[in-house]
Amino acid sequence: MTVTSARLDPSAPEAAIAAMASAVSNWGRWGQDDAVGTLNLVDEAARLRAASLVHTGRSISLSLPFDMNGPQRGWRRRTNPVHTMLDTGTDAERGSQGFPHGIGGADDVIAMPLQCSTQWDGLGHIFDHGVAWNGRRAGDVVTSDGDLVTGIEHAASLVAGRAVLLDLGRHLNPAAGELDDGYAITVDDLDSCIDAQGETSAVGAGDIVLVRTGQLARAKREGWGEYAGGPAPGMSFTTAPWLREHDIAAIATDTWGFEVRPNEFHDAFQPLHQVVIPHMGLTIGEMWDLDALAEACAAEARYEFLLTAAPLRITGAVGSPVNPIALL
- Please count the other Cβ atoms lying within 10 Å of the Cβ belonging to residue 124: 26
- Strands 146-147, 142-143: pairing is antiparallel
Residue 219 has pLDDT above 60, yes or no: yes
At 172, the pLDDT band (50, 70, 90 cuts) reads very high
At 5, the pLDDT band (50, 70, 90 cuts) reads very low
Kindly report the CATH number that applies to the domain delimited by 13-74+113-327.
Answer: 3.50.30.50
Cβ distance 256 to 286 under 8 Å?
A: yes
Residue 120 has pLDDT above 80, yes or no: yes
pTM: 0.96
Residue 14 has pLDDT above 50, yes or no: yes
pLDDT in tens, 249-258: 999 999 999 9
pLDDT at 296: 98
At 110 the three-state DSSP class reads strand
* DSSP class of 259: B
pLDDT at 16: 95
Cβ distance 309 to 208 under 8 Å?
A: yes
pLDDT in tens, 132-154: 999 999 999 999 999 999 999 99
Residue 105 has pLDDT above 90, yes or no: yes
pLDDT at 202: 98
In angstroms, how far is CA 58 from the centroid of its own chain?
22
C-alpha distances in Å from residue 142, one per residue of 23, 84, 138, 318? 25, 30, 6, 8
pLDDT in tens, 85-99: 999 999 999 999 999
Cβ distance 63 to 289 under 8 Å?
A: yes
pLDDT at 196: 98
pLDDT in tens, 257-292: 999 999 999 999 999 999 999 999 999 999 999 999
Mean per-residue pLDDT for 88-113?
Answer: 95
For CATH 3.50.30.50, the residue range(s) in the chain are 13-74+113-327
Residue 46 has pLDDT above 90, yes or no: yes
At 232 the three-state DSSP class reads strand
pLDDT at 4: 43
Residue 1 has pLDDT above 90, yes or no: no
Quote the percentage of the chain above a pLDDT of 70.
98
- Residue 63 φ/ψ region, left for φ over 0, alpha for ψ in the -120 to 50 degree band, beta for the rest: beta
Cβ distance 228 to 258 under 8 Å?
A: no
Residue 198 has pLDDT above 90, yes or no: yes
Q: Average pLDDT of the chain?
A: 96
Largest Cα–Cα separation, the chain? 74
Contact residues for 322 (Cβ-Cβ < 8 A; gap 6+)? 63, 118, 119, 120, 285, 309, 310, 311, 312
Residue 164 has pLDDT above 70, yes or no: yes
178 vs 9, higher pLDDT: 178
Contact residues for 223 (Cβ-Cβ < 8 A; gap 6+)? none
At 7, the pLDDT band (50, 70, 90 cuts) reads confident
Residue 41 has pLDDT above 70, yes or no: yes
In angstroms, how far is CA 239 from the centroid of its own chain?
16
pLDDT at 2: 41
Task: Give the alpha-carbon dihedral of 150, 247, 227, 178, to 10 degrees.
Answer: 170
